[in-house]
Amino acid sequence: MLGSVHALIDSVGQRLDIPQDVIDKLKAFNKEHVFDIKLENGKSFKAYRIQHNNKRGPYKGGIRYHRGVNLDEVQALATLMSLKTAAVNIPMGGGKGGIAVNPRDLAETELEELSRKYVQQLQPHLGSEKDVPAPDVNTDSKIIDWMVDEFGIISGTEDPASFTGKAIAKGGSAGRTAATGRGGVIALAELLRLMGKSEKQYTIAIQGFGNVGSYFGTVAQATQANWQLIGVSDSQAGIQNEAGLDANKLQKFKADHGRFKDYTLAGAKVISNDELLGLDVDILVLAGLEDSLTADNMKNVRAKYIVEMANGPITSQAHDYLTAQCKVILPDVIANAGGVIVSYLEWLQNKRSEHWSEAKVNERLTELMEKAVQAMYKDAEQSQTDLKQAAFAMAIKRLTA
């Protein structure tokens, strides 16, 4: 994954005539923290925090708990976060963290101990003006609240802006939970408007109906009358209904710990994840994990528009192939930036000792997302490049200015 990100940075840097030594410096990491966390019961887990670039502001980036977390992945995601914050033009840098663990294998007491020990290791390097972590895969406001508490105990100071994604009662922002999914809907709607295609009827399939995918579905259903959801999937299976699916009912089904392989509602057909990626739909939303579309399955994609709601869900080879097939790919550094934008807005509220309404947060999110899409689209038109090249170009220009 890191190799693909670096290859694209090199390619865009050459197109922009940026000296290679400047590009090499951009690719380098400021600090890498790799360590083991040992619980009192003897269980041990590999942990990471990569601080990539803070030229534009404090490091920003989530912490994920997933058994597949590794150094290459966290390095790549930290680099993407630097590009993402620059692409949407917010004054923050890029970082990423993670622990190689399946949190479902831990009791809640073990999970809390793990989270607090993660902060114990990193506390000198964290803070509202240094590095501001947030939730990511398999982490949530409860885990972040433990981390904020531990940070305060160790540092002896209250710094609510040191983490984002907190519970509302602990200084979290309204609108944060839905922010990434909502941002993707805003970005896609604005892109279609710029292309002069916003009035058409569209069918949608969403791969990965977790937090991001489900909120993409519910927000789209509430705000885009001409978009119809006909396919969704989780990690084990998908469902399809040509007559349409209700995103709100699906979200409740998943919240109640349902699995799509067991979905029995009349009219819905259980399909595989591979089948979902190849559905005859207008829009394919990739909201699972990285490398979902590869050389092995890229030729199965029939959708005209592909939205990268996960980080790096399309390999470079698949991206080049799909772009050559005239597919329009809305890149991750813009499409899924809603989460980091509202994290920035939470940080801003904490710094100002304010709490904004959800309507105000969503208004600011819409403004920043639409400006980013407009700038990306303009750059792509002027440079005659695809949208990912344009988004990376915007970010790289700002990071090397």
- Residue 225, pLDDT above cutoff 90: yes
**Under 8 Å CB-to-CB from 155, ≥6 apart: which residues?**
123, 127
- Residue 117, pLDDT above cutoff 80: yes
pLDDT bin (cut points 50, 70, 90) of residue 291 is confident
- Take residue 154 and report the two structure tokens written for it: 């160790």
Q: How far apart are alpha carbons 130 and 61 in whole angstroms?
A: 12
Closest among 223, 183, 220 to 341, alpha carbons compared:
183
More confident residue, 275 or 316: 275
Provide the percentage of residues in the chain whose pLDDT is more than 90.
Answer: 90
SS (H, E, C) the chain: CHHHHHHHHHHHHHHCCCCHHHHHHHHCCCEEEEEEEECCCCCEEEEEEEEEECCCCCEEEEEEECCCCCHHHHHHHHHHHHHHHHHCCCCCCEEEEEECCCHHHCCHHHHHHHHHHHHHHHHHHCECCCEEEEECCCCCHHHHHHHHHHHHHHHCCCCHHHCCCCCHHHCCCCCCCCHHHHHHHHHHHHHHHHCCCCCCCEEEEEECCCHHHHHHHHHHHHHCCCEEEEEEECCCCEEECCCCCCHHHHHHHHHCCCCHHHCCCCCCEEECHHHHHCCCCCEEEECCCCCCECCCCHHHCCCCEEEECCCCCECHHHHHHHHHCCCEEECHHHHCCHHHHHHHHHHHHHHHCCCCCHHHHHHHHHHHHHHHHHHHHHHHHHHCCCHHHHHHHHHHHHHHC
Q: What is the mean pLDDT of residues 156-182?
A: 94
Q: What is the pLDDT of residues 51-70, one digit of tens each?
A: 999 999 999 999 999 999 99
Domains of the chain, earliest start first: 28-170 (3.40.50.10860), 179-335 (3.40.50.720)
Tell me which residues are annotated as active site: 96
Q: How far apart are alpha carbons 166 and 12 in whole angstroms?
A: 36
Q: What is the pLDDT of residues 94-111, one digit of tens each?
A: 999 999 999 999 999 999
Closest among 129, 141, 235, 217 to 180, alpha carbons compared:
217
What is the Cβ-side half-sphere exposure of residue 205, based on CA atoms within 13 angstroms?
Answer: 28
Q: What is the pLDDT of residues 317-342, one digit of tens each?
A: 999 999 999 999 999 999 999 999 99
Q: What is the pLDDT of residues 248-269, one digit of tens each?
A: 999 999 998 889 999 988 789 9
Q: What is the pTM of this model?
A: 0.93
